[in-house]
A = this chain, B = another copy of it.
Amino acid sequence: MGAGMPAPALSADEIAELLHAEFPQAFFPGCGHSIERVEHGDVRVRWTFDEGSLRPGGTVSGPTMMELADFAMYVAVFSAIGPQPLAVTTNLTINFLRKPTERDLLADARLMKVGKRLAVGQVALYSEGTEEPVAHVTSTYSIPDKR
């Protein structure tokens, strides 16, 4: 988005605090997910490599990638519209492109539309240190009415 881009509605630290307050059983130090960078509708999150998610042949599992992409989208929605813990995924399409390596995964999410009701974004997932994405996701979040 570049120069004219608005500031994010929440910083990485603010989003992490909010997630920890709302989802203490899912988001906590050591849970494997962390937030690397937050701009307005444009974020990077990380999944820390964990032997337990490996499939035979040393591949990170598909559900691990889907979960990371969904997390990235959630953070991107917060970065654009502020705290909306009741925003929910309505649709997610993932294309698996390459076998991940035994490294952390990085997920770059970017919103393509932020409307009153729906936010639509895409996420590219990378094994750290590689340039070609291991998976690509598009996803839609439904944003609850303001009260």
By a beta-carbon cutoff of 8 Å, the part of chain A in contact with chain B is 22-23, 25-26, 52, 54-56, 61-63, 66-67, 70, 85, 88-98, 112-113, 117-118, 120, 122, 132-133, 136, 138, 140, 142
Contacts and interface: CB of A to CB of B under 8 A. Distances in A.
Copies in the complex: 4
21 contacts: A25-B54, A26-B55, A56-B85, A63-B67, A66-B92, A89-B96, A90-B96, A90-B118, A90-B140, A91-B95, A91-B140, A92-B94, A93-B93, A93-B138, A95-B120, A95-B140, A112-B132, A112-B133, A117-B117, A120-B136, A136-B138
A91 B113 CA distance: 13
Nearest to A57: B86
A67 B66 CA distance: 9
Nearest to A94: B92
Looking at A112, A117, A133, the one whose CB has the most chain B CB atoms below 10 A away is A112
A25 B26 CA distance: 21
